[in-house]
Amino acid sequence: MGVVNTTPDSFSDGGRFDSFDMAFGHARRLIDEGADMIDIGGESTRPGAARIDADEEIERTVPLIRALREVSDIPISIDTSKAEVMQAAVAAGATMINDVWALRQRDALETAAGLGVPVCLMHMQGTPETMQRDPRYTDVVAEVIEFLAGRIEAAQRAGIPRERIMVDPGFGFGKTIAHNLTLLDALGELRELGVPLLVGLSRKSMIGKILDKPADQRLVGSITLAVIAAMHGADILRVHDVAETADAVAMLRALREVQA
Ligand code: 9MG
């Protein structure tokens, strides 16, 4: 899953893709590099990022989705928590909802159920404004699994069939480095939820802190974590560097073929 942020304050690209043309060009490049799907977001979810209203989020994302739909039939995921944005994005051609709030915002559950597209339910402790202040868990793996199991149940109760649900432990969303690494190491346990596993580790601040590197120097750290996640059973990797990650995953796949 290739990441296309249309946010001017995007942490990973310094806002380079805040204009339509640049975002469109970037998305096309990710498709050419081998992305199996594109995740388009209009509101930053990084710690402390400013919230925007639904109209602005729609303005940033929907023209891009429409334009991509004209040139490609690649699956497009809309990264949003707002029911209005989900509706507008799917009407424009998005085929999946990626919600860091796991459909806990107003009308999101019912809207996603009505739209009939797959959803990714992500774990987050707190809110993007406050989540990194002092995240605490007694048992991070058990608590993340319990939360995701509850959201799967809520989604199913709202009418979203299990086959359309995937989950994500939400690396960096209300988690210390130790929480993130513990979760990564225990990713196999999340597979017991019985739905596909999506993970986003690409360029995250955990890598920056461990390696002491800014976002544009986190490629090796990102690829390393992507490979570890894939080895632990992640089904979908949400990444900025599609070509490099695709090569790394191809190497892992080759190894698995001789193991089979
Ligand atoms: C939007 N977004 C930013 N980071 C993410 C992550 O780790 N997972 C998912 N599903 N979405 C994310």
Output the CA 101–ligand 1 centroid distance in Å.
10
Q: Looking at this protein, which amino acid is placed at residue 26? A: H
Alpha-carbon distance of 90 to 88, in angstroms, equals 6
213 is catalytic: no
Q: Band of the pLDDT at 110, cuts 50, 70, 90?
A: very high
pTM for this model (two decimals): 0.94
Closest C-alpha residue for ligand 1 atom 11 = 100
Give the number of other Cβ atoms within 10 Å of residue 219's Cβ: 16
pLDDT at 12: 47
Output the CA 237–ligand 1 centroid distance in Å.
10
Instruction: Share the mean pLDDT of the chain.
Output: 94
Output the CA 99–ligand 1 centroid distance in Å.
8
Q: Are 205 and 249 in contact (CB under 8 A)?
A: no
Q: Does residue 11 have a pLDDT over 50?
A: no
pLDDT at 9: 59
Least confident range of 12-26, 70-84, 151-165? 12-26
Q: Does residue 102 have a pLDDT over 60?
A: yes
Mutate to test the pocket of ligand 1, among 3, 7, 168, 171 (most ligand atoms within 8 A of CB): 168
Least confident range of 6-20, 33-47, 191-205? 6-20
Instruction: Please report how the helices 54-71 and 20-32 are oriented relative to each other, as an axis angle in degrees rounded to 10.
Output: 50
Query: Which numbered atom of ligand 1 lies nearest the CA of 100?
Result: 11
SS3 79: strand
Q: What is the DSSP letter of 125?
A: S
238 is catalytic: yes
Compute CA 188 distance to the chain's CA centroid, rounded to the nearest angstrom: 18
136-151: per-residue pLDDT in tens? 999 999 999 999 999 9
Give the number of other Cβ atoms within 10 Å of residue 143's Cβ: 15
Q: Which of 175, 203, 204, 218 is catalytic?
A: 204
Q: Does residue 65 have a pLDDT over 60?
A: yes
pLDDT at 18: 52
72-82: per-residue pLDDT in tens? 999 999 999 99
pLDDT at 96: 98
